[in-house]
Amino acid sequence: MSVRGFINIDIDTWNRKKRASVCYAGRCGSMQSTIKWARRYVKKDTDFALEVLNLAMKEEEKVRNVITRFNRRFG
């Protein structure tokens, strides 16, 4: 899954350096829909609900890793 929608790229006006940061609006929308789906399936299929939540946690980790790599390379 692509993490582009969850990352903002900002350019400093003073020294023209690029910085990556989390797009909180995108993350909130993603987490809200994930929690909605997990809540829907928690009573029917607990294993599937846990799988959905674990997938969301892995996605969050992937976003943080991409931001760290971008800032290390271009920051």
Q: How crowded is the C-beta side of 52, counted as CA atoms within 13 Å?
A: 18
Distance, in Å, from the CA atom of 16 to the CA atom of 75, rounded to the nearest integer, reads 10
Count of domains forming the chain? 1
Q: State yes or no: pLDDT of 3 exceeds 80.
A: no
Spatial contact of 27 and 35, defined as CB atoms under 8 Å apart: no
20-74 residue pLDDT tens: 888 888 888 888 888 888 888 888 888 888 888 898 899 889 999 999 999 998 8
Provide the pLDDT for residue 1: 53
Q: State yes or no: pLDDT of 17 exceeds 90.
A: no
* Tokens representing residue 27 in the block: 């993350």
Provide the pLDDT for residue 5: 81
Provide the pLDDT for residue 41: 85
What one-character DSSP code corresponds to residue 6?
Answer: G
- The partner residues of 20 in beta bridges, in order of sequence, read 9
pTM for this entry: 0.76
Q: Determine the distance from the C-alpha atom of residue 74 to the mean position of all C-alpha atoms in its chain, rounded to a whole number.
A: 20
Find the DSSP H helices in 2-45.
24-42
> What domain range includes position 22?
4-74
